[in-house]
Amino acid sequence: MIAMLDRDYTGKMGFNEFKELWTALTAWKQNFIAIDQDRSGTVEHYELNQAIAAMGYRLSPQTLSAIVKRYSRHGRIFFDDYVACCVKLRALTDFFRRRDHLQQGVVNFIYEDFLQGTMTI
């Protein structure tokens, strides 16, 4: 979670970054509770799709399937895995957007930049 907000790669989080993290965690928890329709404490793949869409992401069915495979246990996603998914999704999206100067959903970067950026996530 620290890596998500560690924009200067120090491995540390200041107070403002902590407030930003707390705000994100609170929103993710509220979103999780809202989409857990059967109140099982887990969400299923179709509920995760709703949650991701509610966060403003528009992902292909193939990408959603990859996310579900990565974060589900026996077809269900527990809250801790949901948070891990949200952290990764936000960090990767931020990494991408910082390089998408024309905001067209396309970036061009060298392999070293990719490795450095994703190794910190």
Tell whether 120 is covered by a domain.
no
Find the CATH number of the domain harbouring 41. 1.10.238.10
Alpha-carbon gap, residue 34 to 53, rounded angstroms:
13
Domain count, the chain: 1
**Which pLDDT does position 47 carry in this prediction?**
86
pLDDT of residue 67: 93
Q: Which domain holds residue 47?
A: 2-115
CB atoms within 10 A of CB 66: 12
Tell me the whole-structure pTM to 2 decimals: 0.80
Per-residue confidence (pLDDT) for residue 38, from 0 to 100: 86
pLDDT at 120 over 60: yes
| pLDDT tens readout for residues 47-99 | 888 889 888 999 999 999 999 999 999 889 999 999 999 989 988 998 899 89
CA 18 to chain centre: 17
Q: Is residue 39 part of a domain?
A: yes
